[in-house]
Amino acid sequence: MSVITYTTIMSFFVKSTPAIQPRTKNIRFISVGLAAVLIVMVIAQLFKFETFPDVIAATGVPGESLVWAAMIVICEVLALPFLLAMRLSPAMRMVSMVSGWIVVAMWLKISLWVNFSSGTVENGGLLGDTIALPAGWWSIPICLSLGILAAWASWGMWPKRTNHTNHTNHTNHTR
């Protein structure tokens, strides 16, 4: 493997770069707002994580509830660096962005499953077992709203977009 190829690969996977400038001013508020919602959700879920898989199992969603619970929490945490525009490698920025999509898709699937196939569920699980939110029709628009916010944040801070205003002038301004 040549040195150029090695350097290119390592710069994609390892070298951290600043986040690209958002397309609009609103994108920053949207991404930080979505990050705040995910932080509240993950803290509530982790506060009583030992019972969180039971909450997921009670929804009747197919699959192993412990895997669902772990994947939800992991994806919520992994989505935060992208939403907070942290300094990341390009590969991690993509992983973080996709994690936001995955967590919204998982919650939407659980909400749809609860509303259309299982009966009544006392706790929909959005805030874990810490704050029991009863499952109902309202969870679908909430999850769709989170999906819209995630899509909007992704559009506004898409990692592969080239933006000429993002390049900084590296000249030395010494006196």
Give pLDDT tens digits for 75-126: 999 999 999 999 999 899 999 999 999 999 999 999 999 988 866 788 888 9
Q: Name residue 17's beta-bridge partners.
A: 88
Q: Residue 168 has what pLDDT?
A: 45
Q: Check: CB of residue 11 under 8 Å from CB of residue 92.
A: no
Single-letter amino acid code for the residue at 32: V
Q: Tell me the average pLDDT of the chain.
A: 86
Whole-model pTM: value is 0.82
Q: Residue 9 has what pLDDT?
A: 74
Distance between CA atoms of residues 142 and 42, nearest Å: 16
Q: Name residue 158's beta-bridge partners.
A: none
3-state DSSP call for residue 130?
Answer: coil
CA gyration radius, the chain: 19
Q: Which residues contact 12 (CB under 8 A, 6 or more apart)?
A: 89, 90, 91
Q: Name residue 88's beta-bridge partners.
A: 17
Show pLDDT as tens, one digit a residue, over the chain (175 residues).
566 777 777 777 778 888 888 888 899 999 999 999 999 999 999 999 999 999 999 988 889 999 999 999 999 999 999 999 999 998 999 999 999 999 999 999 999 999 888 667 888 889 988 998 888 889 999 999 999 999 999 999 987 755 444 444 444 444 4
